[in-house]
Amino acid sequence: MQQIELEVLLRSEKGKGAAHRIRREGRIPAVLYGRGMETYSLTLNPAELEKILTSGARENTLIGLKISGAGSEKIGHKVVMLKDLQVHPLQRTYLHADFCAVAMDEKIEVEVPIRLTGKAEGVKSGGILEQPRREVRIRCLPSDIPEFIEVDVSGLKIGDSLHVQDVPSSAKCEVVAETNFTVASVTPPISEAKYEEIVAAAEGEKEIVQPERIGEKKEEAEEAKEAKEPKEAKGPKE
């Protein structure tokens, strides 16, 4: 997997006050951690990180950190993966990033997308292809992380399923799963009559709500009040 370079600056200031000041300067705070190493506080240009994440790079993209600043020489060049990214809920701007260092000679476990290939036999007969799981966990070296895992579904007939144990491992990537979950299946088609029956049942459960007329509640309240009040007795005419 190709590495993408990102320039970061080592920082010594910590805390909320420092984070606010960093953001006012147009940068965002970040942290770098990893197995057997200290945790370092960094800052970076959010536009550069956004450029990486919007260029087609995925979650498992390897990023080579070019660290500068006082004391950066003791850290050296680190290959990392983005583990967490905090985003402003309204403005959608980046607020904070977490990077985890990886050793290029040690295998790691990551989630990769599953891409279904081929046209299932059951689909040709009118069945429906379903994919309940779209990712699978694999174990491999960081440089061997694939963009996706292909699974051929062309042999599936109506009622057939493919499970994670059917996903082929390779010499470089090993599929890891605690349960043999379903990856893809072909279900029987729904007839038009059955479809209409389901739609009719769903519509029958809905309550029909009539639109309220302006002043309707006021009129009802006045009528209720008049009904409760005793009528005054009328005297004889003079």
- Mean per-residue pLDDT, 153-176: 94
| Domain boundary pick from 55, 77, 101 | 101
Each residue of 56-89: pLDDT tens digit? Answer: 656 788 999 999 998 898 898 899 999 999 999 9
Rounded to whole angstroms, the Cα distance separating 228 from 47 reads 71
> CA torsion, points 121, 123, 129, 135, in degrees to nearest 10?
40
- Are residues 52 and 94 located together in one domain of the fold? yes
* Domain containing residue 35: CATH number: 2.40.240.10
70 lies in some domain: yes
- Strands (E) in the chain, as ranges, are 3-10, 28-33, 40-44, 62-68, 78-87, 94-101, 108-117, 128-130, 135-140, 149-152, 161-163, 174-176, 182-187
Pull the structure tokens for residue 47.
């536009």
Domain of residue 125, CATH code: 2.170.120.20
List pLDDT tens digits, range 98-109.
999 999 999 999
Output the six-digit token pair for 84.
């967490």
Q: How high is the mean pLDDT of the chain?
A: 85
The C-alpha atoms of residue 198 and residue 190 are separated, in whole angstroms, by 10
**Domain match, 95 and 136 both:** no
With a CB cutoff of 8 Å and minimum separation 6, the contacts of 117 are 150, 151, 152, 153, 154
Model confidence at 179, pLDDT cuts 50, 70, 90, reads very high
Residues 17 and 74 in one domain: yes
For 146-160, 176-190, 200-214, which range has the lowest pLDDT when averaged over its residues? 200-214
Query: Has residue 41 got a pLDDT over 60?
Result: yes
Structure tokens at 103: 């050793």
Q: How far apart are CA 138 and CA 131, in angstroms?
A: 18
Instruction: Work out whether the CA dihedral 143, 148, 152, 156 comes out positive or negative.
Output: positive
Which domain range does residue 128 map to? 108-187
Number of domains composing the chain: 2
